[in-house]
Structure 1
Amino acid sequence: MGKGETMTDPMSLTFLGGAGTVTGSKHLLTIGARRVLVDAGMFQGEKKWRELNWAEFPVPASSLDAVVLTHAHMDHCGYLPALVAQGFDGPVWCTAETVRLAEIVLMDAGHLQEREAEYAAEGGYSKHNPPLPLYTVADVERTLPLLRSVPYDTDLDLGQGLTLRLTRAGHILGSASVTLRHGDTSVLVSGDLGRHDHPLLESRDTPPGAGYVLVESTYGDREHPDAEGHPHEVMADVIRRTIARGGSVLVPAFAVDRTPVVLKALAQLRRENRIPDVPIFVNSPMAVAALAVYREAAPTGELRPDLHLDEFINLPNLREVTDAEESKRLNHPDRPCIIVSSSGMATGGRVLHHLEYLLPNPRNSVIFTGYQGVGTRGRQLLEGATEMKFRGRFVPVKAEIAQDGEFSVHADGSDLIDWLAALDPKPHTVFCVHGEQDSADNLAARIRRELGLVAVVPHYREVVALQPVDGLPVVQPVAPAQPAPQHAAEPTSTPEPSDVSPGARLTFGGAGTHTDDRAQVEVILTTALGQVPFVPDDKRAGVEAALQGAIARVGGDRAALLDAVNQALYAAASAVETPGGQSIVALLAHVPKVLR
Structure 2
Amino acid sequence: MKIKPTRTSPPRFKLTFLGATSTVTGSKYLVETAESRLLVDCGLFQGYKPLRLRNWAEFPVDPASIDAIVLTHAHLDHSGFLPRLAAQGFQGKVWSTGATRALCGVLLPDSGHLLAEDADHANRGGYSKHRPAEPLYDEAQARKALKLFRQAAWNRTFEPVPGVRATLRPQGHILGAASVTLNHADTTVTFSGDIGRWHDPVMPAPFPLAGCDWIVTESTYGNRLHGADTLESELARVCRRVLARGGTIVIPAFAVGRAQLLLVLLARLQHAGTIAKVPIYLNSPMAAEVTELYERFAGEHHLDREDFALLRESVTIVGSADESRALNEKRGPMIIVSASGMLTGGRVLHHLRAFAPDSRNAIVLAGFQAGGTRGAALAAGARSVRVYGEDVPVNAEVVSMDSASAHADADEIMAWLRTAPSAPRGAFVTHGEPDAADALRLRIERELRWTARIPEYRDEVDLLAAGPA
Match of 1:114 in 2: 116
What's the offset of the Cα at 1:68? 0.7
The Cα of 1:322 is off from its aligned counterpart by 1.6
Give the deviation of 1:137 after TM superposition.
1.4
The 2-side partners of 1:97 and 1:242 are apart by: 36
Q: In structure 2, the residue corresponding to 1:17 is in which secondary structure? A: coil
Q: CA RMSD in A?
A: 1.7
1:275 deviation in Å? 1.3
| Match of residue 308 from structure 2 | 310
| Distance in 2 of aligned mates of 1:27 and 1:397 | 38
Greater Cα shift, 245-254 or 421-430: 421-430
What is the deviation of 1:5?
6.0
What is the aligned partner in structure 1 of residue 31 from structure 2? 29
Give the corresponding residue for 2:448. 451
SS at 2:43 equivalent: coil
Tell me, what secondary structure is at the counterpart of 2:130?
A: coil
CA contact 2:109–2:140 (8 Å) conserved in 1: no
Displacement of 1:161: 1.8
Distance (Å, rounded) in 2 between the aligned partners of 1:148 and 1:254: 25
Pair 312,379 (structure 1): closer, same or farther in 2 beyond 3 Å:
farther
What amino acid is aligned across from residue 454 of structure 2 in structure 1?
A: V
Q: Name the SS for the 1:188 alignment partner.
A: strand
Query: Which of 197, 214, 217 in structure 1 is aligned with 2:216?
Result: 214
Partner of 1:475: 468
Aligned-partner residue type, residue 475 of structure 1: P
Per the TM alignment, residue 463 of structure 1 is displaced from its structure 2 partner at its CA by 0.8
* Helix, strand or coil at the partner of 2:268: helix
Displacement after TM superposition at 1:308 (Å) = 4.1
Percent identity over the alignment is 44
Instruction: Verify the 8 A CA contact 2:224 2:409 in the aligned structure 1.
Output: yes
1:19: how far off? 0.7
- Return the offset for 1:334: 4.3
| 1:436 maps to 2:433 | yes
Partners of 1:159 and 1:435 lie apart in 2 by: 29
- The answer to whether the aligner puts 1:359 opposite 2:356 as a matched pair is yes
CA distance in 1, matches of 2:188, 2:294: 33
- Whether the 8 Å contact between 2:163 and 2:184 is mirrored in structure 1 is yes
Q: 1:291 is matched with which residue?
A: 291
Tell me the equivalent position of 1:394. 391
The one-letter amino acid paired with 2:317 is E
Does the 8 Å CA contact 1:152/1:168 hold for their aligned counterparts? yes
Contact 1:118 1:131 in 2 (8 A): yes
Secondary structure (helix, strand or coil) at the match of 2:464 reads: strand
Please state whether the residue corresponding to 1:309 is helix, strand or coil. helix
CA spacing shift, 1:312–1:16, aligned 2, 3 Å: farther
Q: Deviations over 1:450-501 (max 9, x none)?
A: 1110011111111111123xxxx2136xxxxxxxxxxxxxxxxxxxxxxxxx
SS of 1:110's equivalent? helix
Question: TM-score, normalised to structure 2's length?
Answer: 0.96
Q: Would you say 1:186 and 2:188 are equivalent positions?
A: yes
Q: Distance in 2 between matches of 1:307 and 1:198?
A: 18
In structure 1, C-alpha distance between the alignment counterparts of 2:304 and 2:390, rounded to whole Å:
47
Q: Is the 8 A contact 1:248 1:333 kept in 2?
A: no
**CA distances 1:62-88 after superposition (whole Å, capped 9, x unpaired):** 110001110000100010001011111
Matched to 1:322, the amino acid is: G
* Distance in 1, Cα, partners of 2:312 & 2:160: 43
Q: Does 1:341 align with 2:334?
A: no
Q: What is the aligned partner in structure 2 of residue 544 from structure 1? A: none
1:32-52, CA deviations, whole angstroms, 9 ceiling, x for partnerless residues? Answer: 242100001111111111111
Secondary structure of the 1:194 match is coil
Paired residues of 1:2 and 1:160 also in contact (CA < 8 A): no
Q: Could you tell me how far apart the structure 1 residues matched to 2:214 and 2:72 are?
A: 17
Question: Which 5+ residue runs of structure 2 have no aligned equivalent?
Answer: none
- Partner deviation per Cα, 1:420-447 (whole Å, 9 max, x = no partner): 1211342111001110011110101101
SS in 2 for 1:114: helix
Q: 1:123-166 deviations in whole A, cap 9, x for unaligned?
A: 11111111000001121121011011100100102343211110
Counterpart among 349, 365, 370 of residue 373 in structure 1: 370
Match of 2:59 in 1: 57
Q: Secondary structure at the match of 1:265?
A: helix
Unaligned 5+ segments in structure 1 are 477-596
- Distance in 2 between the 1:345 and 1:311 partners? 28
1:4 to 2, 7, 30: 7
Give the drift of 1:176: 0.5
State the shift of 1:306 in Å: 6.8
* 2:250–2:362 contact (8 Å) kept in structure 1: yes
- For 2:259 and 2:8, the matched residues in 1 are separated by 46
- The aligned counterpart of 2:44 is 42
What is the alpha-carbon distance in structure 1 between the residues aligned to residue 305 and residue 169 of structure 2? Answer: 22
Q: Is the 8 A contact 1:5 1:160 kept in 2?
A: no
Q: TM (normalized to structure 1)?
A: 0.76
Seen in structure 2, the aligned counterparts of structure 1 residues 196 and 401 have a Cα distance that, compared at 3 Å, is same
The CA deviation string for residues 201-246 of structure 1, in whole angstroms up to 9 with x for no partner, is 222212422111100101111122211xx75333323222222222
The answer to whether residue 377 in structure 2 is matched with residue 411 in structure 1 is: no
Q: Distance in 1 between matches of 2:439 and 2:179?
A: 22
Give runs of aligned pairs for residues 50-199 of structure 1, distance below 5 A.
Answer: 50-199=52-201
What's the CA shift for 1:10? 1.5
CA distance in 2, matches of 1:235, 1:305: 19
* Counterpart mapping for 1:487-506 below 5 A: none
8 Å CA contact 1:263, 1:312 repeated in 2: no
Q: Which amino acid aligns with 1:257?
A: G
Compared with structure 1, are the counterparts of its residues 231 and 89 closer, same or farther at alpha carbon in structure 2 (3 Å cutoff)? closer
Amino acid at match of 2:423: K
How many angstroms does 1:356 deviate by?
A: 1.1
In the alignment of these two chains, the number of paired residues is: 466
Quote the Cα distance in structure 2 between the aligned partners of 1:313 and 1:306: 11
Contact 1:345 1:373 in 2 (8 A): yes
1:247: how far off? 1.9
The 3-state SS of whatever aligns with 2:463 is strand
The answer to which structure, 1 or 2, has the higher relative contact order (CA under 8 A, 6+ apart) is 2
- Structure 1, residues 388-446: CA drift from partner, whole Å, max 9, x if none? 11111112111111122221111111211121121134211100111001111010110
- Equivalent AA in structure 2 for residue 267 of structure 1: A
